[in-house]
Every structure is written in structure tokens, then in C-alpha cells.
Amino acid sequence: MNTTRRMTMGLLAGAASLGLGIGAVQAQDKEIVIGGSLPMTGVFAFAGLAVEKGMQDYISMVNEAGGIDGYTVRLAYEDTGYKVDQSVAVFNKLTSQEDIHLYYGDSTGFAKTIAPELARSGDMIMGGASFASELNDPEAYPYTFIPGPDYSEMLDILLEYIAQETPGASIALINSDTEFGRDPIKPAKAKAEELGLDVVLEIITPPGAVDVSTEVLKLRRARPDYAIFHGYVLAPQPEFISQAKELGLDTKFMGTFWSMDSSLWAGVGEAADGYMGVMPYRYYYDEDGDAPMLAKIREMQPEYVSTGYMQGFLSAMLMVESAKRVLDAGEEMTGANLKAALNSIEDFDTGGIMGLPISVPGNSVPVGRVYQFSASEGKMLPVSDWISVE
Amino acid sequence: MNPDFLFFIEVSLAGLGSGALLALTALAYVLIYKATRVVNLAVSEVLMLGGYLFFAFAAGWNFSPWLALPLAIIGGGIVGGIVERGLIRPMLGENPISVFMVTVGLGSILVGLTELMWGADPRTLPAFISTKPLFLGEAYVSRKIAVTFVVAAVAMGIFLALFRFWRGGVALRATATDQAAAYSCGINVPGVFSVAWIVGCATAAGAGVLLGAIGGISTTMGVFGLSALVVVIIGGLDSILGALIGGLALGLIQSWAGTYLGGEYSSVVTFGLLIVAIVIRPFGLFGTHEIERL
């Protein structure tokens, strides 16, 4: 067969493109992709934007240090608008386009929806924005993890603090009427009883509630020593606190992780002074203790970064550490191996992001500390030691 | 006074206050629907925008809140005018569902623009209403809620009077009744449409500032507008009086349900009422029977 010039050129082009293709495949082979269904718009956008920044910064640090055993790490994500159907669509799209073994999900609803698929494929482990107590069950959710204490454990930390500070204190639980809000009510009541604390009032506010005058009236009747909010980011807590203070109540108000960002409370002003809550990570500006990772964060981000950033940063750290342990053991990147690697983390130094060396015996990292907002400094200041509720 | 009865009075006053805010927001729906027969679902987002405009003027540019307030209201009105002229008027004569869907899309655009301009973090408005508690006799009322009640009552009174006695108000009523007849009488119908959108959106923006003063602002605060939509469906889409009475009634019922049944029943009661209202009086308690149904 005579080869024409055109055929030769075609063959060369084909060979070149094949070569390029092989090169691309090889490049992909040396890459660990973390997938993400991130809420960059919608009701949880404030968290999604911060989480993405935190994950990207940690990934940059890892890559600048040479990656993991020669693998570079990349975050592949898309916006979900904090809608479960969109999160699932993003998951399907990303997992069909990329070889993903680590994933960040945006909500409890998504984590629960996608859990059977994680179990079926056995390809990956998933962390995310949800601290739902239900997810902290390795039997039911074998490939899921929570980068901090679950919501019940957060309440446990607060209740242990209260029991230590004011034995026998009376408590009001104020929760939003959402899956998020209702999560820790039952276990919190059991824990309070165990600690000799008296739950004198339970308030459930409708989703999106603005005016809380009626609820403040209930609070005035019960006059609890502490009121613990859960299921909110900011509103309606400031109005609650403001009205209660004006009515002369001495109640101390507390919250959980997603309502603990100090920049949110700085905007509230004097009414926010004394607001307390549980925080699993150190704040951007924390100077106490040995925290070299915080110093690096401050180098990368000269301006304050929110609590969501820390959550994203630690999520990426736990994912990368799990992948590293799997690669070091020469094992295949499967959900089971990655989860076993995650559970092998014991007394792990997070560089000070969390105040104690951490272990991940199950699905959560049950460590936190109580902080209190100082309006004059515009900062959350620690008022307890780090508390582990393992 | 018996403590339980005093508590009931206080709960009722709180309900009337939050009902007044619902009524004020409902008024924005009614004003636009009454003149143009358009159910403007973007009222919720204009309400949100009002809160953000106030934030921009008062916190960003450090204007006095008392200057920022009218500027936010004017800003809402300008947005209403632009939307009417640019999006709604070209749709005149189109299927009402098409126009309705335009307002749904408009809402998404306003949320997106707000997130682009001010970010996604929830924020607190600079304080401009005192937080000192107010006592009516022995009964406690939140001062912000009391102020909201007074503002809503005054706005409702003004609009009721304007519709009855002012030439422009009469023109608006005439346009609402029969556009062709209004044209033939020399009424500037497109002008009436513009005024209705400007005033309706300005009202929503004002309600947004009040709402933001109580609960802070966020790009999702427009959800409140959905409760106000329940008010106008119960009260009547084209009735200012219906918005007032519907808002106050819904506020009271929500307050009683939240107090005596629990907060988890508040939405159940609200939307239960909506279903009952639609089944029994689909045109609303005070609405016109001939209104077009979607």
C-alpha cells in the first residue's frame, strides 16, 4: 500500500494526539481530586464561600510542599444553591467526569440522600458542612465523617461547661423548626438531666421567624440561667438577646458552631456582648497556644477569615491525611480504605486549628471550646479549656 | 391583673405588631395587582433590596438613618419604575402566567445582584429604633414592633384615603376596573401602571427596612414575603382593607398558635388557613369576585 503525504500527516497527527492523550491520562493519574457540592449561592452561601476558600488554601499548601507522594491535589466543585437535588446533580456530574475518592457535601439532606450511593460504589469518603447527629453513626453512614463534634456533642460541651460553672442551672432550649434546629433537642435534654441541669423551657421558632416578642415573653416567665440557641446563623438571636436584656433578664445566651462567627456578631454591637457558644476550631486571631497553622493562614489571608473557612481548611486536612495514609500503605483508594485511614488518626496535630491533638474514632471529632463575644474587642474570647466529649 | 390574662394580652399585642408588618408587605402586592392585574412575586426580593439599600446608605456611606430610610424607599420605587417600564410594559396583553413568571425570574436576579454587591453574609442594620421596652399599662410591647404597627397603620390610612379622594387614586381604581374605559376617559393608563409599580415597590422597600431593623438582613429575608402573600390571598388580592385585616388577623393567629400550641404549629396554622380561604372564598375575604385566578 502506498502511503500518501496526507496519510502520513494524518498518522502523525493521530499519534501526536494519542501521545497527548496518554500524557493527560498520566497527569490525571498523579492527581487526587476532591469533589465538592458547595453552596456558593442561596441561604448557606456565606458558609460555602468561606469553606471553598479554606479548602483551596490547604490544598495550595499541600501542593506547594510537593503534594502527597508526588500526587497533586485539586478541588473540583460546583454551586448547589443549598438545594439537595442540585447537590446530587453536581455529585453525579463530577463523579462521572473525574476520578473522585474524597467529597465535600453541603447539607444534611444531601449527606443522607447520597449515603446509599457511597455505600454502593464504595469509592469515596465524604465530609461536609453538616454536623448532624444522625450522620455520626458509622454503621448507618460508614463513608461519612464530620470535621468536628456533631450537634449533640456541641450541646454536650456547652452543658458540661454550664454544669461546671453553675451547678443545677436552669436552661432554655431555643431551636428553629428545621431538621438542623431540632437535631440535638432530645439528647440535650438527656444530657442535662445526667448533669443535674434543669431544662425549664423549650421554644421552637418557625423557619424564617423575625419577630420574637412572643418567645421573649415566654423567656421572661421562665427566667432561665442559660438559653441555648441552635438552628440559626444570626437572626433572630440578636433581637432575642436585645429584648431580653432590655427586660432585665440575667439569662446568658449561647449558640453552636454555625452561629459563632465573630464578624457576624461584631455587626450586632453592644447587645452581642457576653454571647457564648461552642467552637471546634481556633479563631483566625487566636494567639494563645502553639498554632503554627494559624500563623500560616494569617500569612495567606491578611484579613479575617470566618469560621466556615476553618471548617473547610480542617475538612481538607482530614481528607488529605486519609489519602496520604492509604497511599503510604500501598492500598487502593476505596471508601473502606480511606475511612479506615481516617479512623486510624490518633492524637493528630492539626497545627493548632483544634486545640487538642485529635482522634477520629468514629464519624466525628468530638472536641470543642466555649468562647464568649466581647463587644469592645469585636472578638470571641475563650472562656473554657478545650473539652473532649468522647 | 391576672398574670395569665396579662400574658395573653402581651402575646396578642405582639401578634398585632408582627401582623402590621405582614399587612404593610401585603400592601405592596395589592397596590400593583389592583392597578395592573399582575401578581408581582418579586415583592419579596424588593423588600430584601430595601433592607440592603438602607444598609448601603446608613452603614456604607454613613448617612443618618433618617436620611437613609427615605433614600431606601425611593430606591425601591426607582427599581419598581425601571422594572415596569423595561420588563412589564412590553408584556402588556400577554398571558398573566407569563408576566407572573417574569416576576419570579426578576426575584432570582435581584437576589443574585444583591449577593454580588453585598456578599452572602447576614448583616445587622444600624440601630435607628430604640430598643427600650414599651409598656401599655402593665403589658410589655417590643418598641420596634410598636413602631412597625404605627408605621403600617399610618401607611394603610394614607393609601385608603388616596384611593378614595385623590384624583390619581380614582384613576387607579378606574384603570383597575376597566382599562379600555379608563383610556377613553383620558386617563393615562401606562402612567397609572408606572405609578402603581413605583409606589408598590417603594412600600415593599420600606417594609424591608422595618423588617431588617428587627431581624437583620440577608439575601433570604424575602421568604417573609411569602407569608404576606398568604395575607393577600386571604384578604383579597385587590383589597387594601383586606391586606390590613388579613395581616393583623394572621399575625394574631400565628402569635396565639406559636404560644399556646408551639412554634412548630405556626406554619401549619398559616397554610391551613390559606387552604380554607381558597376553598371557601377564592377571591379573598374582601376581594372582588371577578378577579382573575391563576
Tell whether ipTM is more than 0.90.
no
pTM of structure: 0.87
The secondary element (H helix, E strand) that includes residue B155 is helix B143-165
**Residue B205 in domain:** yes
Residue A37, amino acid = S
Q: How many CB atoms lie within 10 A of CB B151?
A: 17
Domain boundaries, chain A: 27-148+289-359, 151-279+370-388
8 Å CB contact between A76 and A33 = yes
CB contact under 8 A, A41 and B115: yes
Give me the amino acid identity at B239: S
Ordered strands of the A72-79 beta sheet? A72-79, A31-38, A100-105, A125-128
Does B293 fall in a domain?
Answer: no
State the Cα–Cα distance between residues A166 and A188, nearest whole angstrom: 17
**Partner residue opposite A206 with nearest CB, options B111, B142, B263:** B263
Distance from CA of A217 to the nearest CA of B (A): 8
Domain count, chain B: 1
Summarised one tens digit per residue, pLDDT across range B183-236 is 888 999 889 999 999 999 999 999 999 999 998 999 988 888 888 989 999 999
Comparing C-alpha atoms, which of B83, B82, B81, B51 is closest to residue B68? B51
Chain B contact probe: residue of A213, A234, A239 with most B CBs at under 10 A = A213
Per residue of chain A (390 residues), give pLDDT as tens.
444 555 544 444 444 444 444 444 444 458 999 999 999 988 889 999 999 999 999 999 999 999 998 899 999 999 999 999 999 999 999 999 999 999 999 999 999 999 999 999 999 999 999 999 999 999 999 999 999 999 999 999 999 999 999 999 999 999 999 889 999 999 999 999 999 999 999 999 987 777 888 899 999 999 999 999 999 999 899 999 999 998 999 999 999 999 999 999 998 988 999 999 999 999 999 987 789 999 999 999 999 999 999 999 999 999 999 999 999 999 999 999 999 999 999 999 999 999 999 999 999 999 999 999 999 999 999 999 999 997
Structural domain range at position B37: 3-280
**From the CA of A100, how many Å to the nearest CA of chain B?**
29
DSSP, res A85: H
Task: Give the CATH class of A151-279+370-388.
Answer: alpha beta
Residue B179 lies in a domain: yes
Q: Is the peptide bond before A236 cis (omega within 30 degrees of 0)?
A: yes
Averaged pLDDT score across all residues of chain B: 90
CATH classification at residue B22: 1.10.3470
pLDDT, one tens digit per residue, over B92-107 is 778 888 999 999 999 9
Which residues in chain A are contacts of B119 at CB distance < 8 A? 46, 49
Residue B294, domain member (yes or no): no
Which residue has cell 455529585? Answer: A91
Q: A236 contacts in B (CB within 8 Å)?
A: 215
| A4-54 pLDDT, tens digit each | 555 544 444 444 444 444 444 444 458 999 999 999 988 889 999 999 999
Classify residue B289: in a domain, yes or no. no
Q: How large is the angle between the packed helices B240-256 and B3-36, nearest 10 degrees?
A: 150
In the block, residue with C-alpha cell 433572630: A236
Residue B215 lies in a domain: yes
A222 touches chain B (CB under 8 A): no
Q: Please tell me which residue of chain A has the smallest CA distance to B141.
A: A213
CA proximity to A359, closest of A332, A388, A380, A319: A388
Is B285 part of any domain? no
Q: In chain B, which residue's Cα lies nearest the Cα of A40?
A: B120
- What the block records as the C-alpha cell of A92 is 453525579
Interchain CB contact of A216 with B (< 8 Å): yes
| Of B122, B142, B263, Cβ closest to residue A213 | B142
Nearest to B11 among A208, A214, A236 (CB): A214
DSSP label at B254?
H
Q: Which CATH superfamily, name and number, covers A27-148+289-359?
A: Response regulator (3.40.50.2300)
